[in-house]
Amino acid sequence: MTLTAPPIDVAPRVVSLIASATEIVAALGCRDWLVGRSHECDFPPDVIALPACSAARIDVAADSREIDRQVKAALSEGGGVYQLHASLLESLSPTVVLTQHQCDVCAVSLHEVEQAVCTFGPGRPQVVSLEPNSLADVWEDFLRVGRALQVPERAAALVERCQQRLRDLSDACQDVQRRQGGAPPRVACLEWFEPLMAAGNWVPELVAAVGGIDVLGAAGRPSAWVTWKALAAADPDVIVLMPCGFDLERTLRERRWLAAHRSWSELTAVRNGRVAATDGNQYFNRPGPRLIESAEILAEILYPRQFDFGHRGQGWTRCDRES
């Protein structure tokens, strides 16, 4: 369902500094109120035409190991991973600025945004910071954005639609499991490859929603570094690759770090050809409305004969058995 901006005396001027918030604004039918974005905001596709108010301080085109090194160096030096174009932000005269304080490496820091806004003249914008650690937090963030944009009813309706879609999908997956019998699939979701990181926060909840058991991540807890020994001990039935910030093509390129490790080929999921690469950047890494599509992708991966939502080839693909 496509919504248009509601009638309002003075429409908010919104700058979103995080991709998921941009998607929330659009899902509320308020896309036309966006006047600025972050450098990572790219959905809906037409938001790319908006001025980008942030930029990366690291080389985002580097490989997994080098990005990890640069991120850790930037954080240790206190400079942060991203920079805010404060003068551009001020020139856009926003009334609402959407940002986050959930992750130090996800977007411009809340502190930097607040510092910049304090230097603006009269009519400083309202800064709305999101902190999604779980699905419940994601739904609350929808409501938080809705209140800031004066469309609380639309936000409540969006939450209900997303929750209902997830319930319907979960019921369908349970039906499949009842018919198939056997134990639920044990799943490992990898959010980084060199070094290894297991996806946390809302991802284990998505796995559970489609009838899987996440063997590495903890629901509502940050994504965490894991050892190869821990991955081998967990020995999942299915491995889902969803590196943060990587599209599907880049995920497929970067999996070389996994294939190069001596333990990789010994894992049950690898031997059985049950490793899937996804576009984590567009789906799993963004706590917005498309988390429902992320759950659909998981359903297609776990039950390929029963579900086809049209995501295969674009949102995910099966990896070759030997890689």
Domain check: are 167 and 211 in the same one? yes
Cα 90 from chain centroid (whole Å): 28
* Helix, strand or coil, per DSSP, at residue 35: strand
Asked, for residue 151, whether it belongs to a domain, the answer is: no
- Whether the Cβ atoms of residue 231 and residue 216 lie closer than 8 Å to each other: yes
Domain check: are 301 and 164 in the same one? yes
Amino acid at 304: P
Q: Count Cβ atoms within 10 A of the Cβ of residue 23 and give its class: 0-12 exposed, 13-18 middle, 19 or more buried.
A: buried
CA angle 210, 249, 317 (to 5 degrees): 35
Asked, for residue 1, whether it belongs to a domain, the answer is: no
Domain check: are 208 and 96 in the same one? no
Domain check: are 124 and 176 in the same one? no
| Last residue of one domain, picked from the residues 97, 131, 165 | 131
User: What pLDDT was estimated at residue 74?
Assistant: 87
User: What pLDDT was estimated at residue 7?
Assistant: 67
User: What pLDDT was estimated at residue 2?
Assistant: 59
Domain check: are 163 and 292 in the same one? yes
- Paired residues of 316 in beta bridges: 278, 312
Domain check: are 161 and 276 in the same one? yes
- Whether the Cβ atoms of residue 205 and residue 135 lie closer than 8 Å to each other: yes
User: What pLDDT was estimated at residue 136?
Assistant: 98
Domain check: are 102 and 205 in the same one? no
Task: Give residue for tokens 């799943």.
Answer: 187
- Closest C-alpha among 24, 284, 292 to residue 165: 292
User: What pLDDT was estimated at residue 321?
Assistant: 61
What parts of the chain have a pLDDT lower than 50? 323
Asked, for residue 262, whether it belongs to a domain, the answer is: yes
Domain check: are 187 and 287 in the same one? yes
DSSP string, 60-105: TTS-HHHHHHHHHHHHHTT--SEEE-HHHHHHT--SEEEEE-S-TT
Asked, for residue 117, whether it belongs to a domain, the answer is: yes
Domain check: are 79 and 121 in the same one? yes
Domain check: are 163 and 299 in the same one? yes
The domain of 52 spans 14-131
CATH assignment of the domain containing 98 = 3.40.50.1980
**How far is 1 from 3, CA to CA, in rounded Å?**
6
Asked, for residue 219, whether it belongs to a domain, the answer is: yes
Domain check: are 73 and 162 in the same one? no
Which pair of tokens denotes residue 192? 């980084």
Q: Count Cβ atoms within 10 A of the Cβ of residue 1 and give its class: 0-12 exposed, 13-18 middle, 19 or more buried.
A: exposed
128-141 pLDDT, tens per residue? 999 999 999 999 99
- Whether the Cβ atoms of residue 278 and residue 248 lie closer than 8 Å to each other: yes
